[in-house]
Amino acid sequence: MSESLSVLLVEDDPIQRSLAHRILSLEARLSVFTAADGLEGLAFALQHHPQVILLDLILPGISGLELLRRYRDQGGTAKVLALSQAPGQWVCDAALAAGADFFFPKPVHWGEVLRLLLFLCDDLTSRCRTLLLKLGAPADWAGFSQTALAAGLLAGRRCQLMKEVYIETARQFQTSPAGVEVNIRRLISHLYRKGGPPLPEPFPPPGRPPSNKDFLRIMVQAVTFPL
């Protein structure tokens, strides 16, 4: 299943902004909006809630890093792709520390950005279900669909805390948060049962099963970072 994706591009260079808008707008599943400085970008992001933000880090008004910090501090949950021509690993590290999900050095290969955006268009819960099947999880268990939904909620940043994940999953399955927690734990224990096949990286090797939180976070990493 594929979905449409609203994308905000914050870029002060008019030529680069126009070029990126033309390229990305060729894809029917993307709704692309633009902002020319940091303050305009922050205001748009907080008011219109785009699902993805393409963010130049060097901007007039406020910098991309400052925009990102304020956006995350005010609860912004969009996927953020930071873009910068500044040299050095520290720029990437600073962007990720401020809340970016991905980093692209300039000059940007827009074909790679488009590939990532189309990847993000795919339904995250469906992707989590596919991953669980590959891991050998029993699809007829209650914990299977609940684990897929819980990981999808985290991957889409619809929930931040495990308590929120359990509550929302329970609401959709008309059960209790405690029951969801137990079902996910039971599924993980099955995958890490004694004598069972080892799970592929980045999942931990056989031994003590990871916690629900750790297992779901690893699932998120596996489904949101394309190989």
| pLDDT per residue as tens digits for the range 105-138 | 888 888 888 877 877 766 778 889 999 999 999 9
Question: For the chain, what is the HEC assignment?
Answer: CECCEEEEEECCCHHHHHHHHHHHHCCCCEEEEEECCHHHHHHHHHHHCCCEEEEECCCCCCCHHHHHHHHHHCCCCCEEEEEECCCCHHHHHHHHHHCCCEEEECCCCHHHHHHHHHHHHECHHHHHHHHHHHHCCCCCCHHHHHHHHHHHHHHCCCCCCHHHHHHHHHHHHCCCHHHHHHHHHHHHHHHCCCCCCCCCCCCCCCCCCCCHHHHHHHHHHHHHCCC
pTM assigned to the model? 0.60
**Percentage of the chain surpassing pLDDT 90?**
55
Banded pLDDT at 1 (limits 50, 70, 90): very low
**pLDDT score, position 177:** 94
Whether 150 shows a pLDDT value over 80: the answer reads yes
